[in-house]
């Protein structure tokens, strides 16, 4: 039986960051995703996210969806865009636009099984010769088409700017640029995913960027830097950041998109304690 939530915000542990079988609490709960969800609920977590959901078999997706419903937990982001190593959204190409729309339709089939609304959407890489402003215009136009499909499927495309160090050549790397794009698209089905770890690498100023981009933020993720590890292990002071989220009435999901700080149960317990320390209770 789930316990009363012990956190002020809706934190979402994951079922695997760099591989589908590296769940955040697998040493406490075992390898079955459903057992891991039960353990998360017992610890007071109210959400879940999974970058690998589209790679899981349909039976597993259905089991995850049913368990989330039983635990009264919310499904956070699943990944929408599987093409990110070449130019994609920046192209003025009908075939690519059709592919982007079809990708949304395929993601929606998975999302329905697990009750997901927000789907991580990456920009792809820069065009090697097209000026940046034209690429931005193309992405806005392509998102209007993909966003219309998302609206029909009751999805929200969560635009995630990611850092160029880990993903060289990525087009959309900064929160301000993603905010511009989302605001220009101007659709409820296209919002910004603010990952504080990525933004820290691109210049920091995390709370100011949070306030400036507020009107387009639909989802947030956290990890410390360097190393993409547990909050409290690096240079980001998360307590005031999460306090600002709470003060502004954020009722969305805060994804825990990092690896555990140590192996085994000790590392898993460290995750729970780290979240308790920074949570604005």
| R_g over Cα of the chain | 18
Instruction: State yes or no: is 160 an active-site residue.
Output: yes
CB atoms closer than 10 angstroms to residue 75: 23
Q: Which two tokens stand for residue 186?
A: 């101007």
User: Which residue out of 160, 174, 235, 273 is catalytically annotated?
Assistant: 160
Contact call for residues 227 and 234 (beta carbons, < 8 A)? yes
Rounded distance between C-alpha atoms, residue 129 and residue 93, angstroms: 15
Cis status, amide bond into 35, omega within 30 of 0: no
User: Three-class SS of residue 5?
Assistant: coil
Instruction: State yes or no: is 257 an active-site residue.
Output: yes
DSSP annotation of 92 reads -
Question: What kind and span of H or E run contains 79?
Answer: strand 74-79
Contact call for residues 119 and 158 (beta carbons, < 8 A)? yes
Contact call for residues 21 and 13 (beta carbons, < 8 A)? no
User: Which residue out of 49, 67, 153, 257 is catalytically annotated?
Assistant: 257
Query: Which residues are identified as catalytic?
Result: 160, 257
């Amino acid at each position: 039986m789930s316990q009363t939530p012990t956190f002020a915000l809706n934190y979402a542990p994951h079922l695997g960051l760099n591989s589908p079988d590296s769940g955040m609490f697998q040493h406490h709960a075992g390898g079955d995703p459903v057992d891991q969800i039960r353990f998360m609920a017992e610890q007071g977590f109210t959400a879940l996210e999974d970058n690998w959901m589209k790679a899981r078999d349909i039976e597993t997706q259905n089991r995850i969806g049913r368990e989330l419903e039983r635990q009264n937990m919310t499904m956070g982001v699943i990944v929408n865009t599987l093409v990110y190593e070449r130019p994609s959204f920046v192209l003025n190409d009908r075939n690519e636009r059709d592919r982007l729309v079809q990708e949304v339709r395929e993601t929606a089939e998975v999302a329905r099984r697990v009750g997901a609304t927000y789907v991580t959407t990456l920009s792809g890489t820069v065009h090697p010769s097209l000026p940046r402003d034209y690429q931005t215009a193309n992405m806005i136009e392509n998102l209007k088409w993909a966003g219309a499909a998302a609206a029909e499927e009751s999805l929200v495309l969560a635009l995630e700017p990611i850092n160029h160090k880990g993903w060289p050549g990525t087009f959309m790397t900064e929160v301000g640029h993603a905010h511009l794009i989302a605001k220009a698209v101007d659709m409820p089905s296209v919002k910004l995913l603010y990952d504080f770890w990525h933004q820290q690498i691109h210049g920091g100023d995390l709370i100011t960027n949070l306030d400036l981009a507020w009107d387009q933020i639909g989802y947030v993720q956290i990890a410390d830097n360097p190393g993409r590890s547990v909050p409290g292990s690096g240079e980001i002071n998360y307590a005031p950041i999460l306090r600002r989220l709470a003060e502004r009435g954020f009722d969305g999901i805060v994804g825990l998109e990092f690896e555990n700080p140590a192996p085994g149960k000790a590392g898993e317990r460290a995750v729970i304690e780290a979240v308790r320390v920074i949570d604005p209770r």
